[in-house]
Amino acid sequence: MNIRVLLILLFFTAGIWAQNEEILVSGLLVEAETGQPIPYATVVLNDTNANTTISGAITNDQGAFEIKTVQKDFYVEISFMGFKTIKLRDFKVKGREVDFGTIQLYQDSQTLDEVVVRGEVSKTEFKLDKRVFNVGKDLSSTGASALEVLNNVPSVNVNIEGEISLRGAGGVQILINGKPSVLADESSNALGTITADMIQSIEVITNPSAKYEASGTSGILNIILKKEEKQGWNGSVSLNTGIPDNHSIGFSLNRRTEKFNLFTQMGAGYRSLPRDNEAINRNLTNNEVIFSEGENFRNETFFNITLGTDYHLNKYNVFTLSGNFAYEIEDQPSETNFRFFEASNILVSRWMRDETTEATNPKWQYEFNWKKQFKNNEDHTFQLSALGSFFGKDQSSLFTDTTLEGENVDNNQRTATNFQQADFTFKADYTNPLTKEYTIETGAQYVINDVGNDFEVEDFIDGEYVINENLTNDFEWNQKVLGVYGTIAYENKIWGVKGGLRVENTDLETLLANTNEGNSRNFTNFFPSFHTSYTFSEKFSLQAGYSKRIFRPRLWDLNPFFNIRNNFNIRTGNPELQPEFTNSYELTSIYEIGKASMSSSLYHRYTTDVVERVSTFVDNVNFTTPENIGTNSSIGFETNGKYSPTKWLTFTGDFNFNYFVRKGAFEGQIFDFTGNQWSTRLGSKIGLPADIDLEFNGNYRSGFETVQGEQSGFAFLDIGMRKKILKGKIVANLGIRDVFASRIQERFVDQPTFETYNFGRRGRFFTFGLSYAFGKGEAMTYSGRRR
């Protein structure tokens, strides 16, 4: 009896064990069109009879999945956004396993179309003290870099060398998530590593509040990166070439996990930047004239690497540590031809001046940032950051003069430059939304600039080189700026107001070490700001704002020793230069008219101690030096917009006009005059079949009167074409910058005793790039921008 019971129990237990035997379900998910793995797709096992969920999982970085189940009657359902959902019912269990092998998912065109319609067009919206350019599908899916996105923002322009201007003026501050960053510095090659799909929006701040550093009058561009992160491996490889020489290879890699975001970017290349120059120095007292014309090159071999990590300690604390190192090897050959005429157009001498320059430029940056969010509100934050950078230049030049006709004017020279610059920025910001309507901000910033430029000139006399004491010195520049600020804002859905005050103390010292000529300045300034806005409807809003700004002279404005490439046209700095102060007022509107979105501004700026470059004439040599000359009162109007009549055609444009009143005096000469200046830009983007996009950007900048003469206007056209292959995994770019070689710099000086003319032109550039993305990254272009 006991044996029978035992056998029955064993049989029953075996049956239960057999029923609970686990089955392993596995497979690999890929895109049908490209064969690329699909990570983070949803895989669900559903009960065949009850139509309920049994178990589920998501695919890993390589698109693979594994699920265990004890139930035999099930089917598999796989789904991922933008792809058609599939159900797998026809399979067999072999050896307690179901191996589906490689499973292909096809894109759902209807779903994709809906996504494109919702987020296709990048749009600008209005905030209390800024405009926000939201990056839409039209840019985020193109594989463009951050520089290309910036070039699509109204009022912003990026030129051929990657220099960024706002409303036609340079000196723009670039921030990443509201703070200085290795990735935001124009002097490194790192800004090109930010792709369009990483950018949520770009804040355009033309009249900054007291929260921001008071220096610079052009405004601020704040790049806001997306919070969501694509976990896994992402990367891109880029090859570029061009005429004149512009060859580079770049590689970026990004690894994201729940806690860490590890990123690196590296590249190398060679580029050549030619420039045509022409100058005329005319002495009106004795009718002597010196003509000079030539071509110079800046040839650079460069290497660059960026390393960094974001560490998410928890939901409320993120630490960032990153660094960038670059090394450049420069070669700057030039040839300038001179002709010297006496009165009655008599040729006295004709000679050629050759330059051979070699330089090495090491530079690096490092950054630490800690951002803390408080539990009560994600906008309640504290952020602490430190940014350091170094740039060095070890340069030697040899100038050889060869007489070709007439009197002997050979004047061989050589120069040596040892330049070092170290900058440090420490910043703390605290933001607290007290209620839904009231927000306070406070913080501090400390900036240290430490520069040394040891410049030596030697003349070849009687068979040997002798130091020219008049042109040789060691210039030291040390500047420390401490700023603290506070703002308070009230904003509801219709109306808002924000006021603030920033206090900055500047401690500046310059020293010419060889002659012991020093200049020390210490001053404290108050920089108030006020902004208000009113929303009349979803399609029309108004904003008014006021701020006070400062322009502190830069190193090259202060350093009296510079290049002697053309020793009849010498540009020098002025150690006695004082800062500019500007009071800025703006009234801005944003509105929509049909399919067009528009923004217009009326603005007034009043600037004191205006920095102007002034020419003086000694022995037929033109010396150009910055000086503080009087005041500038300008009234301007700017309008810009975007119009998309169809899905495949988009127009963008802006127009800026200002009327100015200049008052001032220099060395007994009165500079009181009025003038105007205007610029316009019109761009179009045309979507062609086969994933081809064409872009045309035309620009015009008018001439304007200066304190001693006038600056000529010019127009230029850029053309670009982009072809996406394999759904954007490969992107080919073809560009022509300055199609007609019409982008020139032309300056006339007309004075009672002399006249000068200076002309410069970079010329036409052709570029071609090919980029490949792997993982879920975007194909991008490695720019390798120069300092």
| pTM (predicted TM-score) | 0.77
> In the structure, what pLDDT confidence band is assigned to residue 10 with cuts at 50, 70 and 90?
very low
pLDDT for residue 47: 85
pLDDT higher than 70, residue 162 = no
Candidate ranges 171-185, 467-481, 586-600; pick with highest mean pLDDT: 467-481
- Sorted by where each begins, the domain ranges of the chain are 2-109, 232-775
475 vs 452: CA distance, rounded Å: 6
Window from 270-284, 349-363, 589-603, 623-637 with minimum mean pLDDT: 589-603
The residue ranking higher by pLDDT, 520 or 4, is: 520
653 vs 600: CA distance, rounded Å: 12
pLDDT higher than 80, residue 231 = no
For the chain, the straight-line distance linking the first and the last C-alpha, in angstroms and rounded, comes to: 95
* Mean pLDDT calculated for residue range 641-651: 83
* Mean pLDDT calculated for residue range 379-389: 93
φ, ψ dihedrals at 53, nearest 5°? -80, 130
149, two tokens: 């996105």
pLDDT for residue 774: 74
Give residue-wise pLDDT tens across range 337-352.
Answer: 999 999 888 999 999 9
Candidate ranges 11-15, 470-474, 586-590, 606-610; pick with highest mean pLDDT: 606-610
> In the structure, what pLDDT confidence band is assigned to residue 6 with cuts at 50, 70 and 90?
very low
User: Is the four-CA dihedral 625, 703, 756, 334 of positive or negative sign?
Assistant: positive
Mapping DSSP to helix (H, G, I), strand (E, B) and coil, where does residue 93 land?
coil
61 bridge partner residues? none
256 vs 232: CA distance, rounded Å: 5
* Mean pLDDT calculated for residue range 652-669: 89
- Contact of 359 with 333, CB cutoff 8 Å: no
583 vs 603: CA distance, rounded Å: 11
Window from 60-64, 307-311, 428-432, 661-665 with minimum mean pLDDT: 60-64
pLDDT for residue 466: 93
Domain 2-109 of CATH type 2.60.40.10? yes
Residue 58 carries which side chain, given as an amino acid letter? Answer: I
pLDDT for residue 8: 44
pLDDT for residue 190: 53
Window from 152-156, 383-387, 604-608 with minimum mean pLDDT: 152-156
> In the structure, what pLDDT confidence band is assigned to residue 409 with cuts at 50, 70 and 90?
confident
- Residue 4's H or E segment, with its range, is helix 2-19
User: Among residues 67, 68, 21, 75, which one has the least CA distance to residue 46?
Assistant: 75
DSSP, res 169: B
* Mean pLDDT calculated for residue range 138-153: 68
- Residue 112's H or E segment, with its range, is helix 109-119
pLDDT for residue 183: 64
pLDDT higher than 70, residue 159 = no
> In the structure, what pLDDT confidence band is assigned to residue 361 with cuts at 50, 70 and 90?
very high
pLDDT higher than 50, residue 11 = no
The residue ranking higher by pLDDT, 139 or 449, is: 449
- Residue 318's H or E segment, with its range, is strand 317-331
pLDDT higher than 90, residue 173 = no
pLDDT for residue 55: 81
* Mean pLDDT calculated for residue range 351-374: 93
Q: Is the peptide bond before 626 cis (omega within 30 degrees of 0)?
A: no
pLDDT for residue 257: 77
Give residue-wise pLDDT tens across range 282-317.
Answer: 999 999 999 999 999 989 999 988 888 888 888 889
195 vs 262: CA distance, rounded Å: 16
DSSP, res 776: T
- Residue 659's H or E segment, with its range, is strand 649-663
pLDDT for residue 232: 65
Pairing type for strands 744-750 and 709-711 reads antiparallel
> In the structure, what pLDDT confidence band is assigned to residue 111 with cuts at 50, 70 and 90?
very low
- Contact of 703 with 676, CB cutoff 8 Å: no
Give residue-wise pLDDT tens across range 707-753.
Answer: 999 999 999 998 988 888 877 678 888 889 899 999 999 999 999 99
pLDDT higher than 60, residue 781 = no
Question: Which residues, in sequence order, are CB contacts of 381 under 8 Å at separation 6+?
Answer: 371, 372, 373, 374, 429, 430, 431
Mapping DSSP to helix (H, G, I), strand (E, B) and coil, where does residue 698 land?
strand
pLDDT higher than 50, residue 131 = yes
> In the structure, what pLDDT confidence band is assigned to residue 1 with cuts at 50, 70 and 90?
very low
Give residue-wise pLDDT tens across range 416-464.
Answer: 999 999 999 999 999 999 998 999 999 999 999 999 999 999 999 988 9
- Residue 9's H or E segment, with its range, is helix 2-19
Give residue-wise pLDDT tens across range 179-221.
Answer: 766 666 554 445 655 667 778 888 888 788 899 888 865 678 8
254: left (phi over 0), alpha (psi -120 to 50) or beta: beta
Give residue-wise pLDDT tens across range 534-582.
Answer: 988 877 889 999 999 998 888 888 888 767 888 899 888 898 899 999 9
**CATH superfamily, with its number, for domain 232-775:** TonB-dependent receptor, beta-barrel domain (2.40.170.20)
Mapping DSSP to helix (H, G, I), strand (E, B) and coil, where does residue 553 land?
coil
